[in-house]
Amino acid sequence: MIFYFSGTGNSQLAAKMIAETTSDEMISINNCLKKGKKNTFQSKKPLVFVTPTYAWRMPKVVEQWIDETDFAGNRNAYFVLTCDGSSGNANAYAKKICKEKKMQFNGIASIPMPENYVAMFPTPSEQECKNIVEAAKPAISKLAIQIQKGEKFPEPAISFRDKILSGPVNGIYYPLLVHDRGFTASSKCISCGKCARRCPLNNIVMINGKPLWKGNCTHCMACIAGCPVEAIEYKKSSKGRHRHYIMEE
Ligand SMILES: Cc1cc2nc3c(=O)[nH]c(=O)nc-3n(C[C@H](O)[C@H](O)[C@H](O)COP(=O)(O)O)c2cc1C
Ligand code: SF4
Ligand code: SF4
């Protein structure tokens, strides 16, 4: 069973490629989070978790969701983290989750994909994003074949810096930087409601045809990057930056 969380589509694409090769079904963690119910899954095939990297680890909402979900059947677990460069020591935290959930850790792999963090960092142009996605595909296919064959992923090399980034830096990153107070919608907004429908945490309500952020945000970038008319900005930092968004409905 392929479980994926994705704000802007990179991880969804990786999950699709893996599901096609392994002839396995895909489960959207976004949809599960939106429904807000406790889930139980029964899988004959290995459990494959495909997510973006947030602060050198799996997104906290995904770690929590795995923790709260019941998995029956096959206990072999793989983790595929899309990133823009480094997933740090996400390895250690995926192993910890496996231990707690009594799953067999079959490895973690990072796949560089386009930077989607338009609220915080400069993002690549549309053409650069296309090139990065194409360059990532052979590595994703290789992982898919390893999963199909039941092979473990090789252990990644972890530096002291990786441990600091995924540990204490991750710990201060969320309370310090992950909030929705910087989001605004301009007069370009056409009241389509896509931002509200796509938010995996149901954090956006439409009031008089305009989005209002309610204070429970994980910075997935689905709202700002997926707005069809680029009406959403994050403070001044997102102005003029390309929005990478390849998520399919
Ligand atoms: C909140 C946030 C934190 C991120 N932190 C990292 C990071 O620590 N390391 C990294 O390489 N990329 C980081 N990125 C980039 C994303 O992991 C990368 O673009 C990912 O492929 C996006 O996947 P998605 O399109 O499935 O949402 C971050 C992006 C966001 C939005
Ligand atoms: S997605 Fe953009 S245009 Fe649509 S409601 Fe949200 S802000 Fe407005
Ligand atoms: S408010 Fe926007 S950035 Fe925050 S979780 Fe929802 S869609 Fe993602």
| pLDDT at residue 16 in the model | 98
**Residue 249 — pLDDT band, cuts 50, 70, 90?**
confident
CA distance 227 to 110: 28
Query: What six digits make up the tokens of 49?
Result: 């978790």
| Residues 107-158 pLDDT 10s | 999 999 999 999 999 999 999 999 999 999 999 999 999 999 999 999 999 9
Q: Where do you find CATH 3.30.70.20 in the chain? A: 179-234
| pLDDT at residue 221 in the model | 98
User: What is the 8-class DSSP label of residue 242?
Assistant: P
Span from the CA of 205 to the centroid of ligand 1 (angstroms): 25
Q: Which of 68, 66, 30 shows the shortest CA–CA distance to 48?
A: 66
**Residue 81 — pLDDT band, cuts 50, 70, 90?**
very high
Atom of ligand 2 nearest to the CA of 226: 1
Atom of ligand 1 nearest to the CA of 12: 26
The pLDDT of residue 34 is above 90: yes
Type of residue found at 200:
P
**Residue 49 — pLDDT band, cuts 50, 70, 90?**
very high
The pLDDT of residue 84 is above 90: yes
Averaged over 1-9, what is the pLDDT?
98
> Among 2.60.120, 3.40.50, 3.30.160, 3.30.70, what is the CATH number of 2-166?
3.40.50
Span from the CA of 174 to the centroid of ligand 3 (angstroms): 14
* Ligand 1 binding pocket includes 6 (Cβ within 6 Å): yes
% of the chain surpassing 70 pLDDT: 100
| pLDDT at residue 185 in the model | 98
* Ligand 3 binding pocket includes 225 (Cβ within 6 Å): no
> Partners of 103 in the beta sheet?
none
Q: Which of 185, 249, 174 shows the shortest CA–CA distance to 219?
A: 174
- Protein fold of 179-234: Alpha-Beta Plaits (3.30.70)
CB 179 within 8 A of CB 105: no
Tell me if residue 54 falls in helix, strand or coil.
Answer: strand
Q: Where do you find CATH 3.40.50 in the chain? A: 2-166
CB under 8 Å to 46, separation ≥6 — which residues?
1, 74, 76, 77, 78, 106, 147, 150
| Residues 173-208 pLDDT 10s | 999 999 999 999 999 999 999 999 999 999 999 999
The pLDDT of residue 17 is above 90: yes
Cα distances from 39 to residues 9, 28, 171, 198, in angstroms, run 23, 12, 27, 20
Q: Whose CA is nearest to atom 5 of ligand 1?
A: 54
DSSP secondary structure of 94-146? HHHHHHHHT-EEEEEEEEE-----TTTS----HHHHHHHHHHHHHHHHHHHHH
* Ligand 1 binding pocket includes 211 (Cβ within 6 Å): no
| pLDDT at residue 242 in the model | 97
The pLDDT of residue 64 is above 90: yes
Whose atoms come closest to the Cα of 88: which ligand? 1
* Ligand 2 binding pocket includes 199 (Cβ within 6 Å): no
| Residues 229-242 pLDDT 10s | 999 999 999 999 99
Say if pTM beats, i.e. exceeds, 0.95. yes
% of the chain surpassing 90 pLDDT: 100
